[in-house]
Amino acid sequence: MKVRVGKWLRTAASAPAGRAARRAIASQATGPATPNRLAAARTAYRFGCVYTGLYCLTSPQVYLALRGGGMGRLQEAADAWAKLWAIRPVRDWMSVRVLGKEPGDRFEGGDDAHAWAGQLCWLAGAAAATPLWSVLDRHRTGGATPDKWLRLAARFCLAGQMFSYGAAKAVPLQFQLPPSKLVEPLGALSPMSLLWAQTGSSTPYQMVLGCAEIASGLLLVVPRTASLGALLSAAEMAQVLLLNMTFDVPVKVHSFQLLLLSLLLLAPHAPRLAEAALTERPLPAAALTDLFRSRRANRIATALQAGAGLWLLGAQLRNDWTFWKNHGGGREKPELYGVWDVTDFRVDGEQRPPVTTDGRRWRRLVVDTADAAAVQHMDDSLDPCMAAFDMNARSLSLVKMADPAWQVTFAFERPADDRLILEGKADGSHLRLHLRRRPPETFPLVSRGFHWMQDNSSLR
């Protein structure tokens, strides 16, 4: 009995020391939280909040997504929203005086001078507002209620973007692989076109990407899972930013802003995550983020947030589905859809042999949609065209997008399902073409499909 009591006393005496040692190890692993470090972290957090807040307030993309997406009048309203802000004159001044670019009438999207001038404005605004925020916040003794409402707004701004981009992939709408891409030489593709063709060639892959973005948006709108949603969106936006940087996709500014917004939502949890990653201690519980003191009020607020998120997602999916059915991959294919190889090309009755140096002869006619086609020349270059089909009059009209003055209307005949004869006048000459449809199965990108087991010889 004496032995057991002695052993218990020694254990009890050593327990505080052991806990103290473990706390010291954890403190060394995560680093001491000195006042200077805490002040710098708070200042950086406030700077990021003001910077991204200005971006969200003046961004047509964010405004449009928070209205459920859409085109037409909704898109015009989003552009008008950006023009209403007092920052517009300052942005125009930055564009002219600092960047040397004339401001445009509207934001065209991408990384143009309008977007980069906005970056300078947001940085200047954040640099001016952050010290003021610190002074006003110095004597605050209550809870972080304003911060909670700011985080709520940030969560929905980010969730709206996740729904917008996720729905465009899940439908699928964002990435397409028209027939003209099947015959365009790989070396003629821009890095962005290559990325779009690669992703568009696999519909399941594109849809999984979209579902992942939608999942992060759904997690963001629920308070209890918002941190997990921010973590998932940060991982997704880091991947998107990497692709935009390495494939020169002109949405670098926007993807960076969404990554920064995700990291700002994670910032208050950084010490907890670091402690869990660098020590063997379990992840500490997160501080309560309830908006109100009443449990009932918080339940109502949670239900409203979840309902608003579901409405945003439903509206975005509905808009994208409608656009996909009317203008995207779900649109009915025209009768002449596909790749047509030119087997005989005659100019004013004279046959033109398939010589690669002949700049006038056509190699292929590719019909992508009911209003888009492309003429491929003998050097494999493509001329995108606007197309108009009149099946009753059996005519096809083409207008080059690069040269709208070039227009031609062909009368066509269909001797067989895979045969086509075009006859019309272009460039002051009478053209007569015989074409043969090339089945999609002849393209390995289309016909290869999926295999669990395959021969190494078939991998090309």
- Summarize pLDDT for 143-200 with one digit per residue, the tens: 446 788 889 999 999 999 999 999 999 999 999 999 999 999 999 999 999 999 999 9
Amino acid found at 44: A
Q: Which residues on neighbouring strands pair with residue 425, listed in sequence order? A: 430
CA-to-CA separations, 448 to 39, 146, 413, 431, 451, in angstroms, rounded: 58, 56, 32, 37, 9
121 in Cβ contact with 90 (< 8 Å):
yes
Range in 257-271, 272-286, 323-337, 371-385 the model is least confident about: 272-286
Tell me what percent of the residues of the chain surpass a pLDDT of 90.
56
Copy the structure tokens of residue 382.
């493509």
- According to DSSP, residue 283 is labeled P
- The tokens for 433 are 């073409």
Same domain, 237 and 360: no
Residue with tokens 């629920």: 222
Q: What DSSP character marks residue 279?
A: S
Is the CB of residue 98 less than 8 Å from the CB of residue 120?
yes
Residue where the block lists tokens 């002051």: 428
pLDDT at 20: 42
Average pLDDT over residues 31-38: 67
Residue 231: partners with Cβ closer than 8 Å, 6 or more residues away:
262, 266
Q: How high is the pLDDT of residue 157?
A: 95
Q: Tell me the Ramachandran region of residue 177: left when phi exceeds 0, alpha when psi lies from -120 to 50, beta otherwise.
A: beta
Q: By residue range, what is the domain housing residue 351?
A: 338-444
Residues 252 and 364 in one domain: no
Give the domain CATH number at 382. Answer: 2.40.128.280
165, 185, 323, 328, 445 from 199: Cα distances, Å: 14, 17, 19, 16, 12
259 vs 245: CA distance, rounded Å: 13
The predicted pLDDT at position 71 comes to 67
Together in a domain, 342 and 321: no
Q: Residue 267 has which token pair?
A: 């910032």
Q: What average pLDDT is seen over the chain?
A: 85
Q: What is the three-class DSSP state of 120?
A: helix
Query: How would residue 121 be classed by pLDDT, with cut points 50, 70 and 90?
Result: confident
- In the chain, the percentage of residues whose pLDDT exceeds 70 is 84
> Is residue 455 a part of any domain in this protein?
no
Do residue 323 and residue 359 come from a single domain? no
With cut-offs at 50, 70 and 90, classify the pLDDT of residue 340. very high
Q: What is the pLDDT of residue 303?
A: 96
Q: In the chain, what are the helix, strand and coil shares in percent, each to the nearest 5?
A: 55, 15, 30
- Note whether residue 20 is domain-resident: no
Residues 303 and 224 in one domain: yes
Instruction: Please check whether residues 156 and 230 belong to one and the same domain.
Output: yes
pLDDT at position 352 over 60: yes
Task: Decide which of 27 and 152 is more confident.
Answer: 152
Q: How far apart are CA 433 and CA 265, in angstroms?
A: 61
Please tell me whether residues 243 and 357 are part of one structural domain.
no
User: What pLDDT does residue 67 have?
Assistant: 86
Please indicate, yes or no, whether residues 290 and 315 belong to a single structural domain of this protein. Answer: yes
In SS3 terms, 389-449 reads as EECCCCEEEEEECCCCCCEEEEEEECCCCCEEEEEEEECCEEEEEEEEEECHHHCHHHHCC
Which residues contact residue 262 at a Cβ distance below 8 angstroms, ignoring those fewer than 6 apart?
158, 230, 231, 233, 234, 237
Residue 323 sits in the same domain as residue 346: no
Same domain, 364 and 303: no
Q: Within 10 Å of residue 158's Cβ, how many Cβ atoms?
A: 31
Q: Give the relative orientation of helices 113-137 and 252-266 as an angle to the nearest 10 degrees.
A: 20
Q: 212: which residues sit within 8 A by CB, 6+ positions away?
A: 166, 232, 236
Q: Assess whether 382 and 300 both reside in one domain.
A: no
Average pLDDT over residues 274-292: 78
Residue 63 φ/ψ, nearest 5 degrees: -60, -45
Per-residue tokens: 270: 């950084």
Number of domains in the chain: 2
Q: What is the DSSP string of 197-262?
A: HHHHT-HHHHHHHHHHHHHHHHHHHSGGGHHHHHHHHHHHHHHHHHHHHHTT-S-HHHHHHHHHHH
pLDDT band for position 109 (cuts 50, 70, 90):
low
Residues 364 and 316 in one domain: no
